[in-house]
Amino acid sequence: MSSAFTFMQSPVGTLTLVARGECLAAVLWETERENRVRLGALHRDDQCPVLLETARQLGEYFAGKRQRFDLALDFAGTEFQRQVWAALLAIPFGETRSYSDIARHIGNPAAVRAVGAANGRNPISIIAPCHRVIGASGSLTGFAGGLAAKQYLLALEGRQSLALDL
C-alpha cells in the first residue's frame, strides 16, 4: 500500500506529513536523514483528509491554541519502538522526561540507550513529542529536526530554560 504525503509550512521549516490509509504515519523534517523513517512508496495528495486535519491541528499547536492532538496514528516499528513511542504520547504538554524516565516508564530501566535509539526513529515528530525528551542533566540532546527546532518547540510549550548540549 502506498502512502499519501503533503507539505506544510511551519515555524520550524517545511514539514512532510505522511498518511497510511486513514492514519497519520509520519511528520518529517526538511533536514530529514535518509532512511531514518522507512515509508515505502509515496504519492502526493494535498487533499487527503487525515493530512488536512493534521495540518490544521499542527497549525493550532504552533499558534499556541492546542496542547493535545486528536489523530489516528499508525506507528510502524518494532514492539519495543512502539512502546517507547507510546510513552512519548504520555508526556504532558510543557513537561520533559529523560531517556531513563522513559526506560522506567516502559518497565525496562536498563534500556536507556535503546530508548534513545527508538526516540531517534520516532516517525511522528511533534505529535509524538520526542522533543520533550532531554538529557539526564536537563540539557537538550540530539533531535531529528535539529536542536534549534527542539529548543523552539520546548519554548513554545513554556520550557525556555533548557540549555543546548553542544
pLDDT value at position 163?
45
Cβ neighbour number for residue 130 with a 10 Å cutoff: 26
Structure confidence at residue 143 as a pLDDT band (50, 70, 90): confident
Burial of residue 36 (number of CB atoms within 10 Å: 0-12, 13-18, 19+): middle
In the set 8, 27, 130, 140, the catalytic residue is: 130
pLDDT value at position 59?
97
Query: Three cell numbers at 158?
Result: 513554556
Q: Residue with C-alpha cell 516508564?
A: 105
| 23 catalytic residue (yes or no) | no
Cβ–Cβ under 8 Å, residues 75 and 38: no
Instruction: Pick the range with the lowest mean pLDDT from 32-36, 39-43, 101-105, 159-163.
Output: 159-163
Question: Any idea what DSSP says for residue 140?
Answer: B
The rounded distance, in Å, linking the Cα atoms of 51 and 20 is 10
pLDDT mean over 126-139: 88
pLDDT value at position 18?
96
Q: Is the pLDDT of residue 146 over 50?
A: yes
